[in-house]
Amino acid sequence: MNRKILIVDDSKAIHDDFKKIFTPNKNIEFENLGSFLFEDQKVKPTIDTEFQLENAFQGQEAHQMVLDSIKNNAPYAMAFVDMRMPPGWNGIETIQHLWKADPNLEIVICSAHSDYSWRDIMDRLGGTDQLLILKKPFDNIEVRQLAFSLTQKWNLKKQANLKLEDLEELVQQRTLELKKANDARLDFFESMSHEIRTPISGILGMLELISNSDLNRGQLESINLAKWSAKSLHALINDVLDYSKIKSNNLNLEKIEFSLNSTLEEISQMYSIMADEKGLVLYCKQDFSLPNSLFGDPTRLRQIIINLIGNALKFTKSGYLYIKSEEISRNSKIVKFRISVQDTGIGVKKDKLETIFSKFKQASEDTTRNFGGTGLGLSISKDLIELMGGKIGIESKLGKGSTFYLNLELPFISYEKDKALSVEDKIYLLIQDNLQRDIIEYYLKQFNIGFKILLSLEEINKCKISDIILTDYLTVDNYLNDYHNIYQLVNISNPTLLEEQNQSVKYLTLPIKKRDFIEVLSSSIFLKKEIDALKDESFEHNILIVEDSLVNQKIISFMLKKLPCKFDICSDGESAIDQLKQKNDYDLIFMDCHLPGLNGYETSKIIRNQKLVFDDVAIIAMTADMNLDDKENCIASGMNDIVIKPFDIKRIQFVINKFTLNNFVKNQGSLIKERKIFFVIDADVKSFEVKKISIIEVFETAEVKQIKTTLEACSALKNHQPDYLILDLDVELVSGIELLSLVFSNEALKQVKVILFTDLSEDDDLIIEAKDIEGLYFCSKSSNFQEYLSSIR
């Protein structure tokens, strides 16, 4: 117990008085006096713990003594301070200095004068509970009471502070333990999810291969449904991690190119089957004026939409679900859009609307019992959309249904308006479902195509043989021989009907896909599989695959055979290193990140450090999950790019073209013809023809090749080195820049002149930075292209 007291007074007599008050024999006198006053003769007098007194005669001296006590870890518990102490500091000044030295010191001001009022003192020293005033002459018992109480108070505060420090240390220790436990849990989930993802990736890969084989329309639709169901399961597994990642701020969003149109089509077709199983109808109405390609995180956006649809499906017993997309606004770079999911379900009470997005909350206690669920899906959706910078909300009427919506702003990077469809024949609609008819009418208006409404089957007789008739009547067999373009609207959930397709009947599956709708309107037939467009038999690449999963080995082998490529397979890092020591003529290496023994990162480091392949041979990481740490590990280990499982053949082809380009073009250098070769990347035929005319006017013998996509450009550059590459920067922003980085980083393509069409001004930062790049030219869309070509010839 600290009973150390500092007496600060300029009078020696006052110091002597304090000494008498706190001597032990005085304590006995006080005890006896107390017993006498309270008539308690049985109380034995006790002596309190002796107070330790120290004396200072001036404020400066007291200040130094307090500093020394702190330094020696023997602080004072309290101080009695005189108000007047000439010629030095007065009491107020002394206290100010003492508290600067020791903020915990309890102080009693001793004064026989009224130099300062209590308010004056408080104004000077501030509001505090560590200051009392004792008037001289003072009562001995009062002094002892103050000393006992204030030193006791100081000791209690000291104990409390020590306990607080212990608690803070304990909190830090527990926080560290919780962090370790949370990290261990995340590691467990990530490890577990990796093990689960591997077979799912295998399923998706095999479905991808089957979908590129010779299938009829019904089989293809069924495979696609199985594929997207597997993708949903894959996404569901990822949800296991999301809640923990969001809570610990470990969730990273991707920023990649994707098609909103395709995303909504895939989701709506998949959930149409689930809706049909419940006796519901699922409608999907898309705004085709939205940009074809957006820049964001398609996986997370898809997850949010699936959560909203799944929620609507769960709480709707009869009626329909209605998915809509619509553009709200846009500028030259950003488009704002809304996606809504409407249902005819049970609805939500008005007072529950604000809590419905809270964690583990549902509309009522009966909801969990009657419909199941954790109440976590909407909360995760809200967190995700807010991470993207968007907003999620709900409009609902109890017993009528709900509409969940999300508003989001994303950059668009490849905006091309749909070409005007040339439909010479008339379009007739014979559709009983009012909502479905409204959707088709909306689509036709978006394409600026006229149409007429038929009210009965008999009115088909008014049509010409070549007219296009869209109907949801299933009893049109009597008209099939006379009318060649009758399309029956059939829900995707009816695969049996699709399997029975024959030459005399045509189907348009619901929900309608944009591509299918355009094919119907232009009377086109789906002729080519994706694999045919990518296939190039002019050269077989030599590739090494390092993958431990037999399923994934089989999938990527099938894909490489289709492309086609020669390849060898190793199941672990050690065998891959041995293989490269015996054979090092590979054009490319696909490396799984999670290999037994040496993992993919370690194996890649050894390959690079030991120079087992040439520096220009790329190593491509293969993984089912990719976060920022994984990407940094890939770069640090010498890998060049990443392919996310499940494998996508387009991505595989693009990576092969991108990183094996140098080997092909080197062999083409000596074959350059005298006439100039132009590659014009432009999907629009009319726009290409205009450019071609200008090119021929300036370069009479020029060979001008139209290339519709950057993917096709990579494939073309593999076999030919053009003199000029012409690209619309505003149309192919991100993929175009990736192509440019490929061209300018490749020694064999350094002679290619690249002309970029753009609306950017000469003062734009991009133009200023690019002016010094040799071989790169900017052509304003407002300028005369022919004159521009002449100027740079």
CATH 3.40.50.2300 domain range(s) in the chain: 4-138, 427-523, 531-644, 667-792
Top pLDDT among 785 and 618 is at: 618
257 pLDDT exceeds 70? yes
Write out the H or E segment, with its range, that includes residue 95. Answer: helix 91-101
Report whether 411 contacts 333 (CB < 8 A). Answer: yes
In this prediction, what percent of the chain has a pLDDT beyond 70? 77
CATH architecture entry for 531-644: 3-Layer(aba) Sandwich (3.40)
**What average pLDDT does the segment 202-220 reach?**
78
- Tens-digit pLDDT profile for residues 153-171: 999 999 998 999 999 999 9
Report the pLDDT value the prediction gives residue 246, as an integer from 0 to 100: 66
Chosen CATH of 253-414 out of 3.40.50.720, 3.20.20.70, 2.30.30.830, 3.30.565.10: 3.30.565.10
**What average pLDDT does the segment 657-682 reach?**
61
Q: What average pLDDT is seen over the chain?
A: 79
Report the pLDDT value the prediction gives residue 205, as an integer from 0 to 100: 78
Indicate the range of 251-260, 271-280, 496-505, 520-529 predicted with least confidence: 520-529
Task: Pull the structure tokens for residue 314.
Answer: 């769960």
By CB neighbour count within 10 A (0-12 exposed, 13-18 middle, 19+ buried), where does 12 fall?
A: exposed
- Tens-digit pLDDT profile for residues 615-667: 778 999 988 765 555 677 888 899 988 887 777 777 788 788 777 765 544 44
Pick the most confident of 81-90, 467-476, 560-569.
Answer: 81-90
- Tens-digit pLDDT profile for residues 367-412: 444 444 445 578 888 989 999 999 999 999 999 999 999 999 999 8
**What average pLDDT does the segment 247-269 reach?**
81
- Tens-digit pLDDT profile for residues 737-766: 556 666 666 666 777 888 887 777 767 766
Task: Name the pLDDT band for 116 (thresholds 50, 70, 90).
Answer: confident
Report the pLDDT value the prediction gives residue 718, as an integer from 0 to 100: 66
Write out the H or E segment, with its range, that includes residue 55. Answer: strand 52-56
CATH 3.30.565.10 domain range(s) in the chain: 253-414
Q: How many CB atoms lie within 10 A of CB 15?
A: 17
DSSP β-bridge partners for residue 337: 327, 408
- Tens-digit pLDDT profile for residues 119-142: 888 888 887 889 998 888 888 888
- Tens-digit pLDDT profile for residues 5-52: 999 999 999 999 898 888 755 455 555 556 656 655 554 444 445 789
Task: Name the pLDDT band for 534 (thresholds 50, 70, 90).
Answer: very low
**What average pLDDT does the segment 296-325 reach?**
92
**Residues whose CB is less than 8 angstroms from the CB of residue 655 and which lie 6 or more positions away in sequence, other chains included:** 588, 618, 620, 641, 643
Top CATH class of 427-523 equals: alpha beta
736 pLDDT exceeds 60? no
Report whether 746 contacts 618 (CB < 8 A). Answer: no
Report the pLDDT value the prediction gives residue 662, as an integer from 0 to 100: 53
91 pLDDT exceeds 50? yes
State how far the alpha carbon of 28 is from the alpha carbons of 33, 152, 300, in Å.
Answer: 8, 20, 81
Report the pLDDT value the prediction gives residue 495, as an integer from 0 to 100: 47
Task: Pull the structure tokens for residue 355.
Answer: 């809590």
667-792 folds as Rossmann fold (3.40.50)
Top CATH class of 4-138 equals: alpha beta
Report the pLDDT value the prediction gives residue 244, as an integer from 0 to 100: 59
CA distance 421 to 423: 6
Top pLDDT among 521 and 366 is at: 521
State how far the alpha carbon of 417 is from the alpha carbons of 203, 292, 413, 523, in Å.
Answer: 36, 8, 13, 20
Task: Name the pLDDT band for 328 (thresholds 50, 70, 90).
Answer: very high
Indicate the range of 188-197, 429-438, 596-605 predicted with least confidence: 188-197
DSSP β-bridge partners for residue 546: 570, 591
Look up tokens 């990796």; give the residue. Answer: 194
Where in 467-526 does DSSP place strands (E)? 468-471, 486-491, 506-510
Between the two ends of the chain, the Cα-to-Cα distance in Å is: 96
Report the pLDDT value the prediction gives residue 771, as an integer from 0 to 100: 63
CA nearest neighbour of 288 among 262, 266, 307: 262
> Residue 344, SS3?
coil
Report the pLDDT value the prediction gives residue 537, as an integer from 0 to 100: 39
- Tens-digit pLDDT profile for residues 167-196: 999 999 998 888 888 777 767 766 666 677
Q: How many CB atoms lie within 10 A of CB 779?
A: 19
In this prediction, what percent of the chain has a pLDDT beyond 90? 29
Task: Name the pLDDT band for 668 (thresholds 50, 70, 90).
Answer: very low
Pick the most confident of 246-250, 517-521, 731-735.
Answer: 517-521
Alpha-carbon 117 to chain mean position:
64
Top pLDDT among 299 and 284 is at: 284
Top pLDDT among 102 and 255 is at: 102
